[in-house]
Structure formats: structure tokens, C-alpha cells
Structure 1
Amino acid sequence: MFNPTREQVRQFFTEAWRKHKSREVLTPLESIAVDWALQHPEYHADLESPEALEAEYTVEQGRTNPFLHLSMHLAIAEQLSVDQPPGIRAAYQQLLATHDEHQAVHIIMESLGQVVWEAQRLGKPLDNDSYLELIRKHIR
């Protein structure tokens, strides 16, 4: 399993953004990352700042960590592409009936964040059933 360091994640996003701005060829994964970055203009300054590679993003600052947020977008894109956990793609499609794509992914992201936090707190594996149930609560 690929487990990049914080620095590798940040370099991936800043390099993908640099390549995008320079109109260089992007890898498929970089293209997905840039597509999500384009939907988050509030992160563009961070993606262009050398200081962002070492910056701390704390709750007390009232700022979302742009690298964590974009990483979650990538993780969810991967989950949807392979329908893992099984049923996530169908739940996503149902969310699209009443939400735009970005809103639907943010609902999934909030659910993912909650089950990851609970798994870490309890020292247990991620509960896929709880994850899907949290997502389905938003289906109307």
C-alpha cells in the first residue's frame, strides 16, 4: 500500500499545480488533483507558496488544511472509480439527484472524516457499513 509522507503529498499537489499553470503534460492522477484544485480557488495561494510545504494548518487558525482536503477528494475519487466500499458509487449517484457533484463529494468527505476519526479513536478498522450509512442519511 502506498503511504506517502506529508512532504510527498504536499509536493505532489504543488508540482501538479505548477505543471498546470505552466501548461505542462499532467499524469492522470495529477489531472484529477488539478480538477479538484480548480474547484477550490481558496487553496491556489497555498499551492503556489513554497512556505506551504512546511505550514501547519490547525483548527485554532480557522483554516482547512488544503493538502488534506485535496487528498480526501482524491481518495473519494478512487473509491468511486472502483466502488469500494461496495455501494459507495450507488450512494453517490443518488446524492447527485439532489446535490451538485462538489456538494455530493463533500457529504462523502464529511462521512469519511467521521469514520476515520472513530476508527483512530477506537483503534479499530474503518467501518464501511457506518461510512455508507452516514452518506445515505443525506439521500432524499
Structure 2
Amino acid sequence: MFAPSQHDVRRFFCDAYRKHRDGSPVTPLEALAADWIAEHPEYHADFADVDAALAAVYDPDAGRENPFLHLSMHLSISEQVSIDQPRGIKQAYELLAARRGSRHDAQHEVMECLGQMMWESQRSGQPPDGDKYIDCVRRRATRD
């Protein structure tokens, strides 16, 4: 199983951002990351300096979101939707995106469901509940 370290993840996003800015060749995953980075200009400074990125501490109590976690969740959701895993996420996400009129806004709502599922899993010591996750996304897709 692939288990990158925090520094590996941060270097990956910084490299993807640098390559995209410089017009250098990128891998498909780097291209996807660069697309999501482009959707978040508020994070560009975080990705521009790899040394600062490696040293940064994102304390939730300080009120600043961790851009590396945020973008990692975008990549995770994109992968889940592309392979429909857990089964049903693609349909639920597409319905949500259609209802919201924005794939980006839909991803942020799915992110809340994903975060909730992971928090519950960690808290209970049980495996993540994919059915509950899909149900959360479906509920969001059917409410205004």
C-alpha cells in the first residue's frame, strides 16, 4: 500500500504547481492536482515555496485550513468518482454537481461527508462506512 509522508504530499503539490506554472511536463496525477490548485488561488503562496510548505503547521484552532489536506481530499474524491468506489459515489456526486451547478461546490460538499466518515471511523475504531458516506452525499444532493 502506498503511504506517502506529510513531506511527500507537500512536495508533490509544490512540484505540480511549479511544473504547471513553468509549463513543464506533468504526470496525469500532477495535471489533476494542478487543475485543483488553479481552483484555489488562495493557496498559491502555500504551494510556491517548498521549504515553507514543509515547515508549515496548520493548527485548526488558528482558523487556517490546511491547503495540502484540502487538495488531497479533492484528489481522493476525484479518484473515487472516476472508479465509482465506494460503489454509488459517482452517481451521487454527479447528482449533487447537477443540483449545485458546480462540480467544485459539489466536491466541497462531498468533502464534508468524507471528513465525517473518516472522523467517525477513527473515533469508533471501525472501518470507514462507505454506505453511510454515500447516503450523506445523496441527502445533500436531494436537499436545496
Shorter-chain TM range is over 0.9
Deviation at 1:32, TM superposition (A): 0.2
2:19 counterpart residue number = 19
| Structure 2 SS opposite 1:96 | helix
Q: Quick one: distance in 2 between partners of 1:124 and 1:7?
A: 27
| Structure 2 SS opposite 1:98 | helix
TM-score computed with the length of structure 2 as normaliser: 0.95
Deviation at 1:18, TM superposition (A): 0.7
Deviation at 1:13, TM superposition (A): 0.3
Structure 1 residue 29 and structure 2 residue 29: aligned?
yes
Unaligned residue ranges in structure 2 (runs of 5+): none
| Structure 2 SS opposite 1:138 | helix
Alignment of 1:82-121 (within 5 A): 82-99=83-100, 100-121=102-123
1:132 counterpart residue number = 134
Q: Deviations over 1:25-83 (max 9, x none)?
A: 11000000000000001100000122121211011221110000000000011100100
| Structure 2 SS opposite 1:2 | coil
Q: Quick one: distance in 1 between partners of 2:84 and 2:42?
A: 30
1:48 counterpart residue number = 48
Q: Quick one: distance in 2 between partners of 1:11 and 1:96?
A: 30
TM-score computed with the length of structure 1 as normaliser: 0.97
1:117 counterpart letter in structure 2: W
Count, aligned residues: 140
Quote the RMSD (CA, aligned, Å).
0.8
Q: Quick one: distance in 2 between partners of 1:86 and 1:125?
A: 16
1:19 counterpart letter in structure 2: K
- What is the percentage of aligned positions where both structures have the same residue? 51
Deviation at 1:104, TM superposition (A): 0.6
Q: Quick one: distance in 1 between partners of 2:34 and 2:126?
A: 33
1:64 counterpart letter in structure 2: E
